[in-house]
Amino acid sequence: MISTDFIPVNQVSLDGNEKKYLNECIDSGWISSEGPFVSQFEEQFAARVGRKHGVAVSNGSVALDAAVTALGLGKGDEVIMPTFTIISCAAAVVRSGALPILVDSDPWTWNMNVDEVKRRITGRTKIIMLVHIFGLPVDVTPVLELAAKHGIRTIEDAAEMHGQTYMGRPCGSFGDISTFSFYPNKHITTGEGGMIVTNDEELADKCRSLRNLCFQREKRFVHEQLGWNFRMTNLQAALGVAQLERLDEFVARKRRMGSRYTEQLAQLSKIQLPLCSTDYAENIYWVYGMVLADELLFDAEEAIRKLGGHGVGARPFFWPMHEQPVFKKMGLFAGESYPVAERLARRGFYIPSGLGLTDEQMDRVIQVVREILS
Ligand SMILES: Cc1ncc(COP(=O)(O)O)c(C=O)c1O
């Protein structure tokens, strides 16, 4: 754990079997992706989200690249996705030659606006990408109904959703392909890492091949297709197995943190706090985000500077895809505007909520946020 006066936006919790399993890797010499923890982690993680197949990869971004490629996207295809998300989602689509078709966010859950998804469907729509944002899932049912009606495949980006459910069913169980990230700010971490899960054996085989340079079984170094080295190491998977043993405990801890922040900050009238729950899910607070009211004369950037000045780490919300310079330079999204996402990007930020955060640190964060925002 990092122990300085500054309270970082994330601190990890690695005090279960992590060291023991890592020592097993070192003692046995199994450190590459061929070691036994990789398949153990894949099987246990897939079982946890109710899927038949798990394919461990090196991070959550490449999981999306593999998913998009396995589903066979190409030039002229369209993929509907939220504009308010991480660049990994749109980058995977753009790299495949397809076109991201953006939708705005719901101002309360910060997830994609499902009514807009319906309006954006065309004859070229090949995939809808459901991206669960910050701790509450997308309202999945209407999206899946639309997809089924129009014969559209789905990718579910559940990078932030370990242990979350929608109507009691695990997030990660909804997409034709669903993906996860295990970056250290996630509910469980492998340092860097990701997982692709699916019930479709053919898609799972494609993803396994894509992550392993499309080596062939018979003639290993003769390639029919281009893949990548997206493999996860045994060392990372060892961490994953140890972390997965504690997922329920971690989700419960994050929920306690979220409730405590909400209780202590609810009286501040100039910020919007995350919803504790919706009809279909209880927040798991991947991050504890907040949005500044318009009446406050400073924006998120300034709020983050002020918090930092008092020793509290904070990060801005995502910057929308239609406002990304890299996509503008490619001529994408010209003249498009999504006002909810634009506002979230300018007025939203999140405060420390890592699993290693102590009660004393939380008290200090609460005190500083009150000072700055009341
Ligand atoms: C929604 C979402 N998708 C994808 C990713 C990418 O995961 P990674 O950082 O493991 O590449 C993240 C990372 O935070 C994310 O939040």
| Mean pLDDT calculated for residue range 67-75 | 96
The residue whose CA has the least distance to atom 2 of ligand 1 is 159
User: Per-residue confidence at 4, pLDDT binned at 50, 70, 90?
Assistant: low
Q: Where are the alpha helices (DSSP H) in 185-319?
A: 201-211, 234-244, 247-265, 300-309
User: Per-residue confidence at 1, pLDDT binned at 50, 70, 90?
Assistant: very low
User: Per-residue confidence at 3, pLDDT binned at 50, 70, 90?
Assistant: very low
User: Per-residue confidence at 161, pLDDT binned at 50, 70, 90?
Assistant: very high
- Tell me if 61 CB under 6 Å of ligand 1: yes
pLDDT at position 374? 79
Q: In terms of Cα–Cα distance, which of 4, 5, 7 is closest to 366?
A: 7
As a whole number of angstroms, the distance between CA 301 and CA 293 comes to 14
Distance 81 CA to ligand 1 centre (A): 15
Instruction: Report whether pLDDT(25) > 90.
Output: yes
Q: Name the packing angle between helices 18-28 and 36-48 (round to 10°).
A: 150
Give 101-145 pLDDT, tens digit per residue.
Answer: 999 999 999 999 999 999 999 999 999 999 999 999 999 999 999
pLDDT at position 2? 43
Closest-lying ligand 1 atom to the alpha carbon of residue 181: 10
Q: Among residues of the chain, what percentage have pLDDT more than 90?
A: 98
- Which helix (H) or strand (E) segment holds residue 41: the answer is helix 36-48
Is 93 in contact with 73 (CB distance < 8 Å)? yes
As a whole number of angstroms, the distance between CA 12 and CA 254 comes to 12
Query: Within 13 Å, how many C-alpha atoms sit on residue 201's CB side?
Result: 0
Burial 260-274 (b: 16+ CB within 10 A, else e): ebbebbeebeebbeb
Q: Helix, strand or coil for residue 205? A: helix
Structure tokens at 95: 């790299």
| Mean pLDDT calculated for residue range 359-374 | 95
Instruction: Give all strands (DSSP E) within the chain, no chain letters.
Output: 53-57, 78-82, 99-103, 125-131, 153-157, 165-166, 169-170, 177-181, 194-198, 271-272, 288-292, 315-316, 348-351
- Tell me if 157 CB under 6 Å of ligand 1: yes
CA distances from 188 to 65, 281, 283, 326 (A): 21, 19, 16, 31
Q: In terms of Cα–Cα distance, which of 351, 186, 343 is closest to 257?
A: 351
CA distances from 176 to 37, 179, 213, 325 (A): 25, 10, 23, 31
Model confidence, pTM: 0.97
Is 284 in contact with 254 (CB distance < 8 Å)? yes
Name 288's bridge partners: 351
Closest-lying ligand 1 atom to the alpha carbon of residue 59: 10
pLDDT at position 309? 96
| Mean pLDDT calculated for residue range 313-325 | 98
- For residue 19, give every residue at least 6 positions away whose Cβ sits within 8 Å of its Cβ, in sequence order, or none: none
Distance 86 CA to ligand 1 centre (A): 7
Mean pLDDT of the chain: 97
User: Per-residue confidence at 276, pLDDT binned at 50, 70, 90?
Assistant: very high
